[in-house]
A and B are shown apart, each in its own frame.
Chain A
Amino acid sequence: MSKESKNLQETARAFGGAKRVGDILLNNALIIIMVIAVIYIAFRNQNFIKAASIINILAQTCAYLPVALGVGGCIVLTGTDLSAGRIVGLTACISASLLQAVTASSKMWVNLTPPPVLLVLVIAMVIGAAIGAFNGFFVAKFKLHPFIVTLASQLIIYTFLLLYMKAGNNGGMAISGLDKSYSDFITGCPQFIKNLTGGITIPNYVWISLLLTVVMWFIWNKTTFGKNMFALGANEEAARVSGVNVFATTVLVFALAGAMYAVTGFIEGARVASNTANTGLNYESDAIAACVIGGVSFVGGIGKIRGVVIGVLMLRLIFVGLNMVGVNQDLFYVIKGGIILFACALDMRKYLVKK
């Protein structure tokens, strides 16, 4: 590099300094706002930063995390997945019905002794992955937009769910009377953790969720499949030309997402313990919102696991925090909507700058 150009570069850097600070502020605007909000709320209501409240936010974040991790992959492929909520519902009801206690008053499968909890988790994940693969197949094979495919498949799944609720001895009632092994597996908390936290319960599903996050981080960042997914999302033609199996990658992304929804279903089955045809309804909207807030872009090929985590955490913080300072619940949605718009506008700004 010649001397003049080096000098030029340095002057440019000096000029750009102020602009860069502005850029940093803007690019991290959401996080800065979040931090300010947390400080404000904490001053207004000190309960907000008590251990119980922080654990509550953490636990709620973890409960909604797997769906967002799943749908994130679909968004990276410039798609979306509207069937997430119904898959959660179906797998929650299947998990709960298989794991009803022998003594439950209205047992769906009368003669069934509850199988091992982990086996049910695997069954749920297989079902979720199969439905996801079904979505992916239609997307990849017929070049349909995932919006259309999953709009249709969520209706199809709803019928399965309604029929399943009427199966066996259940007759459309809510599935209740869960086996203790199941409830403990999800909402229990081993004694040694309680000792560590000083008696505060951290439910087990938090660990399941964190484990999934690590696994998904590994898949997204360290595997060929993950690289292919991003390549495909950024530019399908380029990916195809460079030898990415578009069909297999698409089907796999959706199947993986389906399996993630199933884990949420499995968790929700015992966490919420309300297993009806309405379980899981609209879960996808929060998950998609969390992803876009966290910078998973609908432009495709852009997104990070940590962004998804931040997005989910942020949504939960908003809900818990606003409640803490006594904001009318009806206003929550306008704030949520505003943040989604704001986040996406910021996101697009980065993208436009790149161009």
Chain B
Amino acid sequence: MAGASSQGGLKAALSLIAKRFASSLLTLLLVSVTIFVIAQLLPGDAAQEALGQSATPQQVAALRHEMGLDRPAYVRYASWLAGMVSGDPGQSMVANMPVAEVISSRLPNSLLLAALTALVAVPVALAIGIGSAMNRGGRIDRALNIATLSMVAVPEFLVATIAVLIFSVKLRWLPSIALVSDDMTWGEYLPGVAMPILTLSVVVIAQMARMTRAAVIDQMDRPYVEMAVLKGVAPVQVVLKHIMPNAIAPIVNATALSLSYLLGGAVIVETIFNYPGLASLMVNAVTSRDMPLLQACAMIFCAAYLILMLIADVTAILANPRLRAQ
């Protein structure tokens, strides 16, 4: 039976992946159109922003021609799309470098920061969530509740600034800015990113822990849990063996949402710690009206979000026998 259902699950997952892949392409296309249209509504264009306050109309017109901005908007979009389909995200208007090159210097930084934060945050969040669910109504639960709620409520720029004041300016344990270079060892890299990881963790741990607690508690009231308890199964076993398989879907969902935030939502942390990640690159692209770079960043964030959501859904199918059988 196990073999048959997992085969069915695999089939369901594969067909879901195929369907999702198609709809993801459509989503990406729509997102790119939306971003392009909205960016057109912003005042000024790349030529004006590049020349700044001190530009004359002739200079702007010349640079616009140089950048190809004097073509109609739909032509620019079509040429970008054609390039994207053939795998070339184009040339950054401001940096005068291929967009792929600009992004390849930033994307690894963002991925590394997100991965390290996830490594810290996910186990802690699960432990907090399950722990407080098991002690529902007890002192530990209430203490953890207050802690997570206040973590959700405190904005990350405050967490980051206070952390810098304590650990960098006063104690001088950690650097106040995250410096990243190619020839860095882990020993040099980790102290620099310790505080960014801490700050980001504070935000996502709280969200994930709250969701985990809710999912576990939702299952705890079910009859099968009562049955297990009455059978005399140890509380830890009840949670890990009986509750978790049923609660895993919403937990993975919440985790996926939090992780997608780590990639694109890290702007504030990247700004405060001067971390050269993708989110601040996108903000740069917006302020300098660098359309190809902006589009590429948006596509990456959107794709990352879609992939994480897909993983969450596939996990839900594989974890749920009812969905598996369908």
Q: Do A and B come from one complex?
A: no
Seen from chain A, the residues whose Cβ lies within 8 Å of a Cβ on chain B are none
Seen from chain B, the residues whose Cβ lies within 8 Å of a Cβ on chain A are none
